[in-house]
Amino acid sequence: MLPVRNIKAGGRRDSEKSLLGNSGIVLARHSAPRRTGCFWCPEIGCARNIIAQAGIVGNETNGMGYTISVMIQLPLINAMTSQCGKRDAAADGRGTWGLVPPALGVMALIPSAILTSLLAVLLPLSVTTVIGAALLAIVQLALVWLLTTRAWPLEPRLYGLKRPNRPWWQVSISVVFVLGASLGGVQLYLMAVTALGLDYLIPPDLPGDLLLPGGLAILTVIALAVLTPFAEEVFFRGFLLRGLINRWGVTPGIVVSAAVFAGMHFQPAVMVPVFITGLLLGSLYWQTGSLWPGVFVHGAQNLVATLGIIFGL
């Protein structure tokens, strides 16, 4: 999520036991075929102890080193995982994984972020933005797949990539409300910290050299307003939030996922507005049963920030 400050002011589980008590990880039945993308396959006897990436870098413009670090880990992840099949969907069509899969992804962020900060110094910011965002989106989606189903062909509905469960006019109203509330909340936050003299909590402006030169700037727009929002929504709402809801319920899940979403931006000045946006996006996902409205809102907010650089607002 790009800070807008930059533009100035279950269904039945196919399981009988759990791997770690109440951890939310499910065992496949010995008598059933491999079906549920589990972290443990009794047929093979191997635990899928995976360290995965959270799918977000604190500064979205520095994703190159993060992406490289994830790609280095992919062979290890693949070697450590068993050939489990796909997980059954819950009654609402979404996945049934618990808390541990997304938690493993979140825990692996710190070393990746450190490597990112080191490599970002070696590359021009504009190049890092586009290439890093593109590769990062691919790797995030691959890791979500590895940590959940590992089934082919893909089943996007497990992550909420399906039609909303409400009429289009209701979804449209919700999208407009959430986008307005998110943008408005950011501006209210900015006004509050400015009035209180808390300069260290004022989100910094996006650097002008973020964009590729000339007509290539459209690639930057696509990277930040299309690829990044899509990958983030799949991870934080379709994957992380779903696991939290399965384990803790709707309200705690939305709050915790928003907190993680904010914390992983690694900038204290943007954590509060990003947390607010995370709450709104999580609520929108749960109410509509689909990630697409949230992807649109997330992309629109990033687009506003990016266009602010292009037009010098």
157-174 residue pLDDT tens = 888 999 999 999 999 999
Strand partners of residue 28: 15
Number of structural domains (the chain) is: 1
Q: State if pTM tops 0.75.
A: no
Given a cut of 50, whether residue 64 has pLDDT beyond it is no
The domain of 97 spans 4-310
Distance CA 57, CA 70 (A): 12
111: tokens are 């070393």
Higher pLDDT, 267 or 276: 276
CB 66 within 8 A of CB 136: yes
Give 81-125 pLDDT, tens digit per residue. Answer: 333 334 445 555 566 677 776 776 666 655 655 565 566 677 787
Sheet of 40-41, strands arranged across: 15-18, 26-28, 40-41, 46-47
Q: Above pLDDT 70, what percent of the chain?
A: 62
Distance CA 47, CA 270 (A): 38
Where does residue 200 rank: exposed (0-12), middle (13-18), buried (19+ CB within 10 A)?
exposed
User: Taking all residues of the chain, what is their mean pLDDT, rounded to a whole number?
Assistant: 71
